[in-house]
Structure 1
Amino acid sequence: MSTYNFGNTGGPANYGDFRPIDFKNGTPDLPTLMAVADRLTQALRAEYPGIAGYGETIQAELALSAEDGLPPNRGRIRTALDNIAIAAGAGTGSLTFTRQLTHAFDL
């Protein structure tokens, strides 16, 4: 059985009512990015609990951005996404959400 995502669940497990980010209209808004980061953290807790802190780092940066109105710290987000991408296996929800965020931030 394949664990690859064929576009309707966000990965091998169903993490809520996730729909892939729509990039047709440019960069997604902050609430959309925060929702994807939340789902990434959920996936990490289920699949790779040892690196769930990276998802929490991304969530914290986005929350800070929402609070102070400044752009999120792309360096911290990039480092977290890179570390997740190294550890996450192909076909996992963690990697799917990581790719979505990497593309959204143009990293």
Structure 2
Amino acid sequence: MIEKRLRVVLAEDSVVLRDGMVELLGARGCDVVATAGTAPELLAGVAGFRPDVAVVDVRMPPTHTDEGVRAAVEIRAATPEVGILVFSQHIEAAWTSRLLSGGAAGIGYLPSSPASG
């Protein structure tokens, strides 16, 4: 029996974190079919590769405010069959509410705590 691997587009502006996440996801049986460092690259990757899931950082260039979660809202509207996992050290309540407004199916939000010193 052939096991289907989860196809992922990964959006993270830090190259070091992005490369580490690609390795981690690959080791866990996922196929990272595209990576993105900006929201436009994320949107293009999802449109071009039609992944099973997009893993999206909330804050991305150029302003590092809410570009990633805004792109996730666009992905949800255009391709609702693509699951979305949003992660961040920052809570973006307004955009996250918009993302979840169509229902929570296929959506995950993983807030992380900044490292404590």
Normalised TM-score (structure 2)? 0.32
1 or 2, which has the higher strand percentage?
A: 2
Determine which structure has more spread, i.e. the larger CA radius of gyration: 2
TM-score by length of 1: 0.34
> Highest relative contact order (Cα 8 Å, sep 6+), 1 or 2?
1
Higher helix share: 1
